[in-house]
């Protein structure tokens, strides 16, 4: 990737608001010190503004479907409640970032100017399945969206564990058998094609999981290393 391309992606991430901590501080410093970078951020703001549309309140039934699956809703003093609350907060962060990071994946295509999309009424927008994968033991958080009737996944790492092993993505449908969807390449947003036989398993309620495997992926067709992140597919 060229330096210009890196800077353009960095500017887009700042405009989308997905940067945190030192990365955000660095980008804001660049805006103040580098007129070219500041202009790139302004261009991304102008491109993204038409995509915002009209703010809408999510339907109450969406929360009713999600709430029963969240251990953090138990506010008793049971052991582990604090850890569950921390997991819910992290999940909330990843889920709230899904729309922004999926927009970033869609618009950051090499050699192509992001299209200007007119605002659409909420009721005409097609439903989309997404999953927010999070790990308990390792600092792992990944947002995944399903496109093209399951033929393609939009994968956005939000926080990745520092590990040299391959990251293999699995779908676990109702029968409980993990099936490999492929390897997640690198820490940058990207796309993954889904083999035709696997698409039917990408249904609401199915679990997505990431395991750490040898180079090239699991040699057995099932996870052989630790499962470091999981999350369920939900329709939004």
What string of DSSP letters covers the chain? Answer: --HHHHHHHHHHHHHHT---HHHHHHHHHHHHH-HHHHHHHHHHHHHHGGGS----PPPHHHHHHHGGG-GGG--S--TTHHHHHHHHHHHHHHHHHHHHHHHHHHH--TT-PPPP-----GGGSPP-EEEEEE-SSS--EEEEEEEGGGTEEEEEEEE-----SEEEEEEE-TT---EEEEEEPSSS-EEEE--HHHHTT--TT-EEEEEEESTTS-SSSS--S-EEEEEE-EE-
Block residue for tokens 């050699």:
111
Q: Please state, in angstroms and rounded to a whole number, the distance separating the CA atoms of residues 131 and 143.
A: 6
Q: Do 129 and 233 form a contact (C-beta atoms < 8 A)?
A: yes
pLDDT for position 57: 55
Domains assigned to the chain: 1-52 (no CATH), 129-235 (2.60.40)
pLDDT for position 32: 92
pLDDT for position 124: 44
Stretches where the chain sits below pLDDT 70 are 1-5, 47-127
pLDDT for position 197: 93
The percent of residues above 90 in pLDDT, for the chain, comes to: 29
pTM: 0.54
pLDDT for position 40: 86
Q: Which two tokens stand for residue 160?
A: 């990745």
Q: Please state, in angstroms and rounded to a whole number, the distance separating the CA atoms of residues 79 and 109.
A: 47
């Amino acid at each position: 990737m060229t330096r210009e391309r890196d800077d353009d992606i960095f500017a887009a991430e700042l405009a989308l608001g997905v940067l945190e901590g030192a990365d955000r501080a660095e980008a804001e410093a660049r805006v103040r010190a580098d007129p070219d970078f500041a202009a790139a951020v302004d261009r991304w703001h102008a491109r993204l503004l038409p995509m915002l549309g009209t703010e809408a309140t999510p339907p109450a039934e969406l929360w009713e479907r999600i709430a029963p699956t969240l251990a953090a809703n138990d506010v008793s003093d049971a052991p582990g409640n604090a850890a569950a609350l921390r997991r819910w907060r992290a999940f909330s962060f990843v889920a709230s970032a899904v729309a922004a990071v999926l927009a970033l994946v869609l618009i950051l295509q090499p050699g192509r100017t992001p299209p200007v999309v007119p605002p659409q009424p909420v009721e005409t927008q097609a439903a989309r399945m997404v999953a927010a994968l999070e790990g308990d033991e390792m600092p792992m958080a990944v947002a995944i969206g399903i496109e093209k009737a399951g033929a393609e996944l939009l994968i956005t790492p939000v926080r990745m564990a520092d590990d040299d092993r391959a990251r293999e993505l699995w779908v676990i449908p109702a029968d409980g058998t993990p099936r490999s969807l492929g390897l997640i390449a690198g820490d940058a947003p990207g796309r993954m094609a889904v083999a035709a036989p696997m698409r039917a398993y990408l249904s609401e309620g199915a679990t997505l999981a990431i395991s750490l495997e040898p180079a090239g992926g699991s040699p057995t067709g099932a996870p052989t290393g630790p499962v470091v992140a999981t999350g369920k597919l939900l329709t939004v």
